[in-house]
């Protein structure tokens, strides 16, 4: 299993620029909540006011999530486009979507985490590798420096358990914080 870290590398950009402030996790809910409309009707003099009718609440619209194939997280690779997932939990499967269809993230780089002494490196080591490897590859992939881009980086990293089982991949993804995109972000220059 892997876990994703939703802390955007924006913190690095903030430290480097000293004038930027770190953003939140970039996640936003699509809806602003339920809207309730009420109307009052007054009965004309002499008319009876009908009793309130019991009505069933309107059926919830099904989310039009992009169709895709659910894949084991270890099978996701360079160039795959994926739907969002709960970043607060360990991830074992992801929905891979054709990049020409609406999707949330795109895998733009995959790096091997150095073995070191074989012990689990931890979040700080992963963050350091993201700051060096993912950010430099971001510029090559997107076509502009990360610190100037509106796009954000997320990544998948090994858990302590997956590390013990041989997982050494750091998977870098790019996303548009304003919402899903259709097509690749390669060469997006934004």
Q: Please report the pLDDT score of residue 88 as a whole number.
A: 76
Spans in the chain with pLDDT lower than 50: 4-63
Q: Please report the pLDDT score of residue 135 as a whole number.
A: 96
d(CA 139, CA 73): 25
Q: Please report the pLDDT score of residue 89 as a whole number.
A: 80
Q: Please report the pLDDT score of residue 12 as a whole number.
A: 42
- β partners of residue 152: 175
CB 175 within 8 A of CB 105: yes
d(CA 164, CA 184): 34
What are 151-163's pLDDT values in tens digits?
A: 999 999 999 999 9
Q: Please report the pLDDT score of residue 26 as a whole number.
A: 39
What are 42-75's pLDDT values in tens digits?
A: 333 444 444 444 444 444 444 455 578 999 999 9
Q: Please report the pLDDT score of residue 64 as a whole number.
A: 52
């Amino acid at each position: 299993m892997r876990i994703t870290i939703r802390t955007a590398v924006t913190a690095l950009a903030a430290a480097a620029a000293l004038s930027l402030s770190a953003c939140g996790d970039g996640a936003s809910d699509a809806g602003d909540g339920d809207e309730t409309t009420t109307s009052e009707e007054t009965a004309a003099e002499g008319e009876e006011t009908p009793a309130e009718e019991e009505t069933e609440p309107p059926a919830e619209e099904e989310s039009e999530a992009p169709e895709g194939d659910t894949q084991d997280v270890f099978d996701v690779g360079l160039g795959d486009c994926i739907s969002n997932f709960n970043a607060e939990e360990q991830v074992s499967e992801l929905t891979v979507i054709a990049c020409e269809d609406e999707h949330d993230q795109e895998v733009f780089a995959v790096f091997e985490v150095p073995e070191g002494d074989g012990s689990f490196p931890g979040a700080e080591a992963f963050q350091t590798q993201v700051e060096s490897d993912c950010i430099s590859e971001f510029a090559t992939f997107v076509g502009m420096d990360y610190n100037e881009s509106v796009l954000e980086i997320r990544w998948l990293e090994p858990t302590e358990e997956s590390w013990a089982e041989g997982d050494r991949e750091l998977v870098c993804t790019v996303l548009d914080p304003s919402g899903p995109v259709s097509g690749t972000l390669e060469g997006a220059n934004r």
